[in-house]
Structure 1
Amino acid sequence: GGARRRPVVGFLHPACLGGGGGERVLWSAVNAIVDRPGPDVEVVIYAAWSAAFARALGTDALVAGVAADGGVRLELARSTVARQFGLTVPGGVRCVDLKTAWLLNPRLYPRFTLLLQSLAAIPVAAEALYRYPPSVLVDTAGHPFCAFLASALSPPLPVAAYVHYPVISTDMLAVVAARTPQFNHSATVSRSRLLSGVKLAYYRRFAALYGAAGARTTVAMANSTWTAAHVRSLWRPRPPYPLTVYPPAELRSLLCLPLRRQRHLMASIGQYRPEKRHALQLEVLAALRAGSPTAAAADVKLIMVGGASTPADHARVAALRVRAGELGLGEDALDIRVNVGRAEVVGVLGGVGIVLHTMVDEHFGIGVVEALAAGAVVVAHDSGGVATDIVGGGVDAATATGGSGCSAAAASAAAPAAIHRGVLVSGRGEGEVAAWAAGVRAVLRLDTDAYVGVQTRARQCVGRFGEEAFTAGFLGAMGGLVDDALATVGGGGARRKRQ
């Protein structure tokens, strides 16, 4: 009973224990808000807690929902987040279980998935606001349509959005317009002028809706300059938004790893999702090992490490194992690991010489940052945030000469020292396997001094992606909203101690 004295910062993140980069941002943001100097605020996580608890127990979600009271949910979060990211979850965080979160399952919408899943976020957000009304709503899961609801309230509810990727982008429109087959644009549709035209019209109308929702967001943050450019073009927010706030990478345990590596060991770090293109990695591995027994790449081994949180993810893992068998890739060539803990990921990154990252238009690429910090040489696609901000972008503070990657073609032909912070592979479709293989071979051909030089330059560029930089950027963006909320409730109480 009685009015609450502290403002409430509510985070909308239904899959809060999913173990991906988005979840790392969530829990780092929660810690940033709780640990910030100044008056206290209450933090609430709106999530599908019953489903998360069910996965942890291997039991029925309904039974789990009955069993999982707020304290049990918080303990589940603490143990899971510590295992996934090595992060702590502060005491006192309130966990609100969203009964409507199932509406966000994309499998419910085999057609018009983008539109229907986005619209489904409105009733989910309505439940969150009804169950425990916040002073500020923070969307860290990519559900911008909740801003339609928040802006319709009286008074309007401030909404902050941390955008990991644009739900739709000008790149997606270009793919459909060019009728280019891709994981989210089937060959059946791309071959048909009529179907492609219909899909393009749908995408354009959805992009207009997406922009209207984004325009109602109070504070917009993006995880890379690439994402920010797309958000700016579609949402048209008032300056200075969107602000680029790089996701937090856990660097301390990686920067201390020795640089001495087994060059023939490669790793791939990323969730088992279609856009990560793990099947392409198998083709590249087979091509590398198909050379003569004396070739440098003949004994290359790939360790795939990733998360699988849905039946579809696990089905993809099973399909990868089948395909590996068809390509003749045995245990000496391939090791597929699923849902491993943080310590094991660090162990893998500390032993491999190369990290392969095949996603096209990766919005940021926190796995790439961690690979660079660990001392592995990255071979990645020349697109998205990986190209603009990490391997091929930004400023190398040590040399002040800027930092470009090196295309696979150039790396293959140029002197080994031409590789600056990693290899960026251009192109898609036919001939792509050969381009990726050429990029890996370029790294394998580096002499020891050149290889260590790449490792050193890569490590020098990652400081701007650390936890401290994220905290400063996130609080800088959120400060005005939190201050306004504090002023509305007349300040706050004493600081809550972390438990």
Structure 2
Amino acid sequence: MWYLLFKRLFQLTLFFIWILTLIYLICLSAFTFVIFNICLIIFLFWFILTLIGWSITLIPILKFVYVPWYHRQCRLWTQNNQQKRYSVAFFHPYCKNGGSSERVLWIAIESILKKYKNDIQIIIYTGDIDITTEKILQCVKERFGIDMEFYESSITFIYLRSRFLIEANYFKILTSLGQNIGSIILGFEAFIRFIPDIYIDSMGYALTYPCFYYLASIPIISYVHYSTINSNIFEQINEEYKAYNNQQSIIKNSLLNKIKLVSYQIYTYVYGWCGRCSKIVYCNSSWTKKHIESIWRSYCIHLVYPPCDIKQFLEMSLINNDEQIIKTIVSIGQFRREKNHELQIRAFHQLLQKKSDYRQKLKLTLIGNIRHNEDRKYLEQLQLLVDNLNISNNVIFKLDINFQELKIQFNQAIIGLHTMQNEHFGLGIVEMMAAGVIVVAHKSGGPHMDIIDEGKTGFFASDIDSYATMMETILEMKSDERRQIQEQARNSVDRFSTLNFERLFMESLDKILFYFNMASKVIGKCEKNFIIRCLRDRQRLDHRLPFVTRDIKIEFREEYGSVVVSLGLTKVLAQTSCKIVKPKETRPNEGRLRLQLKNSHAMVFNFETGRQTQWTTLMSRHLLQNIRDSGCVDMESLCILAHENVRISISNIFYNHMLVFYLKVWEISVNLHVLDYDGNILDCANLAALCALAHFRYPAVTVIGTDVHVHPINERNPQPIRILHYPIMISFALFENGEYMLIDACEAEEKVMEGLFAIGMNQHKELSTLAMFGEICLSRDQIENCISLAHHLVRDITKEMRSVLEKNREEQLEKVQAINRR
């Protein structure tokens, strides 16, 4: 018994010891856990605080020191190495592909370089690291018919090595999230490789915008082909919408579905925040514009249809499909899953099943290209599907065909298929319509909202049965019915032309470039003080004396009245034309003279405010006043049918009105184009206009009664304009309230000057124009001194101009004599 009692007591003791040990361990673990978490929280707190501290330190250095310095280096490279004013960068990682976005890219580049080839260097961020510039431009010529070799020197490719981060096959799960993070990294790589003056995203990678917008503070232009996330996505997720990129496991699991919904809401906010960094947004369709407006909430959104090469397709003649033994159904588009080529193949198979006699008469041609391995695998799946359906003899795949072969395929086709749901636009649809192919497209997106008028210019379908039915309906139509649809479709595609795209695209870009020119006129205080100090010491930046002009160079072209005048680096092209018009009622015996200055964006001075058009008009008015109102051109010699030669019998009330109706005179038009600008545009443009008028020849005429016969140049020699004298303009730049002045200011000196005093005068010291710009008042002595200085320069310039004109006349005479000897 004592043994049992002792045993029980021992057990109870051990139990209490175990309980106490357990309590001790629990308390110790809890204490350790609390201490560990406190330390972890403190560590995380200090870690976050350290990150914030380093960010506060480094971001201002990056933003206000490194980025401005690096941007200046990039601009110096543009100006010194490439001899251009500004750089415009296109972010397009897949620039060598043959899709619609690539066509937009190259047409946009061509539009810019047509107008600003001498001023803008194009930068293209691309991931095509395995291909040279020449091969890329050759691919562009073959696929789009755009010859960019002429602009090769104005295009620079910057190769991005992290493009693989935006490819879907690189991410097995969370593909969209991975691609978006990859686009941020790719955009940052582009940023550290080169900082342009203007950034244009032509593929829709909105997450790259904040890097350029907040760090470099450069204007961003976006051409959106499709909204990465549309405003209907939340309804589609809630309704368990099944798309090509939605996994079935996510659709069926409500928790995962909600997580995906929340992630899309977060991404929508980020996507809209990034999109609002854009200064100008172009959308390629009404469908895209609708979703971008709802998500980005930007005010400067323009609808600009992508450029479609409809001109060459419209020139193709329509063939009679009834005469074809084998009828072709064609499809064009990149081999991507969202294009849904499988629907085309299955609909075509069902059509052959319904109409067995079509098996020997129909062929389906799928035209497209592939970008990477995922597209290649998709193409192999399509080829396997064709084999399984036993229609391999009726289905043809064509990859990377050139433009000429594409025209041939369209010309032979009777039906065009397009099956992508919510297609943003549908460039292939427009091209097929222009070529005379009757299109059956999915009833959604851009094709439904912008392109096709159902039943008149094409048809819609949505599933296998409807596609098969529509194809059968078109095949059984009469030839006249098909021809009517083809003609209506061709007439409807004018709004998608390349010219329309160029006009709309350049309208907004021109405004940004105009503001760039205004910003370029801002000068630093140190540079201003340096120029003023040089003037006080009678020195100038280009080592000239204050009252010495730069070298004048006059180059005459082949055609009459075309001349290029250079004053230093300032260069103006003058082109002259003529036509027969009615005279003014107040001067019935005098011809008419028009003069217009163009491309004068660099002509607005620092001390004046106003719109560009106002300054263009003002300068043109002063030039016209100096030349026409000075009487240097014998306006009466331009009269063809004089007042005294017209005899009409009519009452005195209508006499003057009817008299002008019968009179005819020559109207001479001089268009002045600023080719390059380095100050003193007024003097250079005036000299170019005078040389053009002196060089111009207008056709000889014969007057019989009130009939005027204009002789061609091979029938009678054209006649020169009678020039009585040459009114030369001399401009004085004024500084320090007129205390200092100089002649023929360069661009840097114009940035500092406070006023401009222009004098128009001929060699006989006869004044034709006195014009003052700015708010400086000159004394009488100063004006007389300026006139005296100007007279000496006018005599020298007139002598030089006459010498060049005489030399040109002798050269022309020698050419005529050489031709006569032959």
Interval containing the TM-score (normalised by the shorter chain): 0.7 to 0.9
Q: Superposition pairs for residues 347-358 of structure 1, below 5 Å?
A: 347-358=408-419
Whether the 8 Å CA contact 1:176–1:185 is kept in 2: the answer is no
Question: In the TM superposition, what is the alpha-carbon distance from 1:111 to its structure 2 partner?
Answer: 2.9
C-alpha change, 1:39 and 1:489, in structure 2 (3 Å) is farther
1:143-178 Cα deviation digits (max 9, x unpaired): 111111122125x11110000001111233332221
Q: Distance in 2 between matches of 1:485 and 1:123?
A: 29
**Residue 291, structure 1, aligned to residue 322, structure 2:** no
CA offsets per residue over residues 86-121 of structure 1, 9 Å max, x none?
A: 112222211111233232222233333323322322
Partner Cα distance (1:103, 1:20) in 2 = 21
Question: How many angstroms does 1:303 deviate by?
Answer: 0.5
Aligned residue for 2:97, secondary structure, equals coil
Matched, 1:183 2:244: yes
TM-score, normalising length from structure 2?
0.52
- 1:30 Cα deviation after fit: 0.5
* Match 2:103 to one of 24, 38, 57: 24
Partner Cα distance (1:291, 1:98) in 2? 51
The amino acid across from 1:339 in the alignment is: D
Deviates more, 1:144-153 or 1:9-18: 144-153
Deviations 1:30-84 (A, max 9, x none): 1111112697211111112413x1xxxxxxxxxxxxxxxxxxx331221110111
Partner of 2:200, secondary structure, is: strand
Give the alignment partner of residue 253 of structure 1, picking from 312, 320, 324. Answer: 312
> Offset at 1:316?
1.4
Counterpart of 2:234 (choices 158, 173, 178) is 173
Aligned counterparts of 1:49 and 1:184: Cα–Cα separation in 2: 26
Q: Contact 1:285–1:300 (CA<8 Å) still a contact in 2?
A: no
Alignment match of 2:269 (pick from 203, 208, 213): 208
Give the secondary-structure state (helix, strand or coil) at the position aligned to 1:353. strand
The aligned amino acid for 2:332 is I
SS for the counterpart of 1:36 is helix
Are 1:221 and 2:282 counterparts? yes
Query: Does the 8 Å contact 2:221/2:281 carry over to 1?
Result: yes
Q: Equivalents in 2 of 1:287, 1:38: separation in Å?
A: 54
- Hey, what does 1:401 align to over in structure 2? none
3-state SS of the aligned residue for 1:290? helix
Q: Secondary structure, in 3 states, of the residue corresponding to 2:206?
A: coil
Question: Structure 1 residues 104 and 320, CA, compared in 2 at 3 Å: closer, same or farther?
Answer: same
- Per mean C-alpha deviation after superposition, the further-off stretch among 182-191 and 369-378 is 182-191
Tell me the CA shift for residue 301 of structure 1. Answer: 1.6
Contact 1:226/1:388 (<8 A) preserved: yes
2-side partners of 1:371 and 1:20: how far apart?
A: 15
Supply the distance in 2 between the matched residues of 1:132 and 1:292 (Cα, whole angstroms): 60
2:120 to 35, 41, 47: 41
Alignment check: 8 A CA contact 1:222 1:228 kept: yes
Tell me what 2:186 maps to: 124
CA distance in 2, matches of 1:115, 1:218: 26
Q: 1:140 to 1:448 in 2, by over 3 A?
A: same
Query: How many angstroms apart in 2 are the aligned matches of 1:298 and 1:198?
Result: 52
Quick one: which amino acid aligns to residue 464 of structure 1? R
Q: Following the alignment from structure 2 to structure 1, what is the Cα–Cα distance between the partners of residues 313 and 390?
A: 33
Separation in structure 1 between the aligned mates of residue 520 and residue 172 of structure 2, nearest angstrom: 45
Aligned to 2:205: 143
Q: Distance in 2 between matches of 1:455 and 1:177?
A: 41
What are the equivalent positions in structure 2 for 1:275-424 lying under 5 Å apart?
275-294=338-357, 299-331=361-393, 333-391=394-452, 404-405=453-454, 419-424=455-460
Q: Take 2:184 and 2:374, find their aligned partners in 1: how far apart are those partners?
A: 25
Aligned mates of 1:157, 1:253 — CA distance in 2: 38
In structure 1, runs of 5+ residues without a counterpart are 54-72, 392-403, 406-418, 427-431
Whole-angstrom CA distance in 2 between matches of 1:110 and 1:330: 32
| DSSP 3-state at the match of 2:152 | coil
Note if contact 2:349-2:391 (Cα within 8 Å) is conserved in structure 1.
yes
Residue among 189, 193, 198 paired with 2:259: 198
Moved over 6 A (4+): none
Q: Radius of gyration: which is bigger? A: 2
Offset, 1:352:
0.3
Match of 1:82 in 2: 141
> What SS does the corresponding residue of 2:398 show, helix, strand or coil?
strand
CA contact (8 A) 2:320 2:479 kept: no
| CA deviation map 1:258-293 (0-9, x unaligned) | 222436310010000001111111111110001244
Amino acid in structure 2 at the alignment position of 1:347 = I
User: The residue matched to 2:129 in structure 1 has which SS?
Assistant: helix
Q: Which has the higher contact order (CA 8 A, sep 6+)?
A: 1
Q: Offset at 1:250?
A: 0.9
Residue 10 of structure 1 corresponds to which residue in structure 2?
A: 89
Secondary structure of residue in 1 paired with 2:441: strand
Which residue of the partner structure matches residue 94 of structure 1?
156
268-277 or 318-327, larger mean C-alpha shift: 318-327
Q: Distance in 2 between matches of 1:177 and 1:455?
A: 41
In structure 2, how many angstroms separate the alpha carbons of the residues matched to 1:272 and 1:442?
Answer: 27
Q: 1:381/1:261 Cα in 2 relative to 1: closer, same or farther (>3 Å)? A: farther
Match of 1:414 in 2: none
How far, CA to CA, are the matches of 1:292 and 1:34 in structure 2?
53
Q: Return the letter of the residue paired with 1:202.
A: S
Tell me if structure 1 keeps the 8 A contact 2:191–2:211.
Answer: no
Indicate the residue corresponding to 1:478 in structure 2.
509
Contact 1:136-1:482 within 8 A present in 2 as well:
no
1:262 aligns with 2:321: yes
Q: Give 3-state SS (helix, strand or coil) of 1:176's partner.
A: helix
Greater strand percent: which structure? Answer: 2
Alignment length (residue pairs): 441
Q: Deviations over 1:200-239 (max 9, x none)?
A: 221121111101110111111110011000100000002x
Answer yes or no: is 1:107 the counterpart of 2:169.
Answer: yes
1:121–1:146 contact (8 Å) kept in structure 2: yes
Name the amino acid aligned to 2:337. Answer: P
| SS of residue matched to 2:232 | helix
- Paired with 1:441 and 1:252, the residues of 2 have a C-alpha distance of 30
Question: d(CA) in 2 for partners of 1:335 and 1:109?
Answer: 32
Q: Which amino acid aligns with 2:336?
A: R
Cα separation, 2, equivalents of 1:37 and 1:157: 19
SS at match of 1:162: strand
Q: What RMSD in Å do the two structures reach over aligned CA positions?
A: 2.1
Residue of structure 2 equivalent to 1:271: 334
| Residue of structure 2 in register with 1:413 after alignment | none
Give the AA of the match of 1:267: V
1:456 alignment partner, one of 479, 484, 487 = 487
1:338 Cα deviation after fit: 1.5
Q: Does the 8 Å CA contact 1:290/1:298 hold for their aligned counterparts?
A: no
Report the counterpart of residue 63 of structure 1 in structure 2. none
Query: Structure 1 pair 94/494, CA: closer, same or farther in 2 (3 Å)?
Result: farther
Give CA-to-partner distance per residue, 1:341-387, whole Å, 9 cap, x none. Answer: 12211111111000010110000000000000000000001100011
Kept in 2, the 8 Å contact 1:84–1:342? The answer is yes
Tell me the distance in 1 between the aligned counterparts of 2:186 and 2:260. Answer: 27
Write out per-residue CA displacement over residues 427-450 of structure 1, whole angstroms, 9 at most, x where no aligned residue.
Answer: xxxxx2111111111211221111
- Counterpart CA distance in 1 for 2:398 and 2:450 is 28
Q: Distance in 1 between matches of 2:423 and 2:348?
A: 21
